[in-house]
Amino acid sequence: MESGVTDRLWDKDVQEFISACRQEKLSDIALGHSLGVNGRALLTVSATYRSRKGRIVPVGFRWADSRSGLTAEVYAGKAKAPARVGLDGLFRLALRAGLWAERRHVAFALLAVTDVQSKADGVRARLQLEYLKALGGNESESTALLVRGPYDSAGDPERKALIEQAGELTMQTLNDLAYLYGARSGLDTP
Alpha-helical runs (H) found in the chain: 2-6, 12-21, 87-96, 103-136, 139-148, 157-181
Query: Residue 36: its pLDDT value, please?
Result: 73
Distance between CA atoms of 24 and 22, rounded to whole angstroms? Answer: 6
Query: Which is it for the CA torsion 2, 168, 84, 21, positive or negative?
Result: negative
| Cα–Cα distance measured from residue 42 to residue 81, given in angstroms and rounded to the nearest whole number | 18
Instruction: Report pLDDT digits (tens) over 99-139.
Output: 888 888 888 899 999 999 999 998 998 888 888 888 876 55
Q: How far apart are CA 148 and CA 79, in angstroms?
A: 39
- Kindly state the average pLDDT of the residues 83-98: 87
Task: Tell me the per-residue pLDDT of 3-27, one tens digit each, with 9 for 90 and over.
Answer: 555 556 567 888 899 999 988 888 9
pLDDT, position 190? 42
From 132, 111, 120, select the one nearest 33 (Cα to Cα). 120
Name which of 177, 19, 104, 85 is nearest 75 in CA terms.
85
Per-residue pLDDT for 63 more than 80?
Answer: yes
Contact 64, 85 (CB under 8 A): no
